[in-house]
Amino acid sequence: MRTATTTGGGTSPAALARALLDTASIIRAVPGPMRVAPTEPVATGHLPPAQDLLDRLTTALGLPGLDLVEAPDRLTAVELAVSRRLALRPPGAVAEDEVRQAARAALAAFPGPAVVVPARDGTPLRCWVAGPRDAPAVALVSACGMPVGLAAKWLSALSAEHRVVTWESRNLFAADDGTGLGEAGGHTLDAQSADVLDVLDGFGIAHAHALGLCGGAVIALAAAARSDRITSLSLWHGDYELGGDAPKTAHQQDIEALLAMVSRGRTQAAAMHRMMSRPSTLDTLRPDIAHHLIHPYATPDLLHRYGLLNGALMTADCRGLLDAPQPTLVVTSHRDTTAHPAGSAYVARRLPRAELRTLPHGDHLTAFDAAGELVALARDFLHTVTVPDRRGT
């Protein structure tokens, strides 16, 4: 057997395999083959070894192929985001056993492959579960349209002591076998909140705490309002529609208008998609997670579906959900310019058993980083609502 070596300072197969899986959702969603470029322009003669490695790894990982180009000059925003995450540098000779080992390790790494759970209307939901089977359960409800990678740090942080389940938004993610998005099912808040309970059913979980991030906070609230199987809530940087009772940021107003337009039809979505394909789109996205944030904008069809799904969340009047009796932690930050902190404050005042924590630092996206202070806050609250001798204290 050949010794596994990579020469010439190129990207290691292991790092490239992990990056490919981290961008798998968007690679599957975009009609292929997607173009990608190395991190720095390279001579044409150096491309074949890199293309060969890409071909072998995508095959081993079960992903669509990618076309490697010399430089990123003509790439779209989506292609640039993926290229930057891959951080490809032309490799030296790579043994086949190293490629197979890299693929196996990447596929086995946390959070692992998706488990498909059917929603009650038949829509397939791509789900992940982690943590001890007999531990108190947490339903991690991420932001609408975001790949699992954006919430993976929360999944990892909480699964040491809890049985944590999460899933990707309905209708927005192609299957692992490359069969595409399929027919769009229901997009209403009612359908999305029912998914919470269907996921719990899929893993045999009777009751759970629901942790909602951004628009996921609205889904968690709606799930708690419809079922006492949601025993407690934590709502992080929620994006709420509260009529005239709380202000919205300029970002919320802009996104709501965008979603309203693209939800009208695929023609409108295609026009907006052309604008958002410009590389300058990435200027407003955090570079380390841009490949996740841009996923729902990757194709006109995805953008239209996202307009329906997230538009339903952003326009649902949450005031009718604020009589949910479950103990609730509401978290926001003075520095959140994405979802107005006044919305969280209003929700905390109106919920019968809510506690508000307004943090002095951190913005909307850092909530997804699951940093130590946030995880400690979440764990402490979970302890009060899941450990029998501390419930209700």
Determine how many CB atoms are found less than 10 A away from the CB of residue 315.
13
Please provide the size of the chain in residues: 393
Residues 203, 265, single domain; the answer is yes
Instruction: Check which CATH number belongs to the domain holding 373 and give it.
Output: 3.40.50.1820
Range of the domain at 29: 13-108
Residues 104, 121, single domain; the answer is no
In a domain, 324, yes or no: yes
pLDDT of 393 > 50? The answer is: no
Give the pLDDT of residue 342: 98
Domain boundary among 68, 85, 108: 108
Determine how many CB atoms are found less than 10 A away from the CB of residue 122.
9
Give the pLDDT of residue 89: 87
When divided into structural domains, the chain yields a total of: 2
Min mean pLDDT across 29-43, 251-265, 331-345 is at 29-43
pLDDT of 99 > 70? The answer is: yes
What's the chain's average pLDDT? 93
Give the pLDDT of residue 181: 77
Alpha helix (H) residue ranges in the chain: 13-22, 24-29, 47-61, 77-86, 96-108, 152-158, 189-202, 215-226, 250-262, 266-276, 290-293, 300-315, 341-350, 372-386
In a domain, 2, yes or no: no
In a domain, 6, yes or no: no
Residues 69, 159, single domain; the answer is no
Residues 173, 318, single domain; the answer is yes
Domain boundary among 70, 89, 108: 108
pLDDT of 43 > 60? The answer is: yes
Min mean pLDDT across 68-72, 99-103, 194-198 is at 68-72
103-131 confidence digits (pLDDT tens) = 999 999 999 999 999 999 999 999 999 99
In a domain, 172, yes or no: yes
Q: Are 84 and 287 in contact (CB under 8 A)?
A: yes
Residues 62, 199, single domain; the answer is no
327-372 confidence digits (pLDDT tens) = 999 999 999 999 999 999 999 999 999 999 999 999 999 999 999 9
In a domain, 4, yes or no: no
Residues 86, 145, single domain; the answer is no
264-318 confidence digits (pLDDT tens) = 999 999 999 999 999 999 999 999 999 999 999 999 999 999 999 999 999 999 9
Determine how many CB atoms are found less than 10 A away from the CB of residue 264.
14
Residues 269, 120, single domain; the answer is yes
Residues 61, 191, single domain; the answer is no
Residues 54, 190, single domain; the answer is no
pLDDT of 391 > 60? The answer is: no
Residues 95, 225, single domain; the answer is no
In a domain, 3, yes or no: no
Give the pLDDT of residue 90: 78
In a domain, 260, yes or no: yes
Min mean pLDDT across 72-76, 194-198, 268-272 is at 72-76
Residues 69, 132, single domain; the answer is no
Domain boundary among 63, 83, 108: 108
pLDDT band at 7 (very low <50, low <70, confident <90, very high): very low
Residues 253, 351, single domain; the answer is yes
Give the pLDDT of residue 235: 98
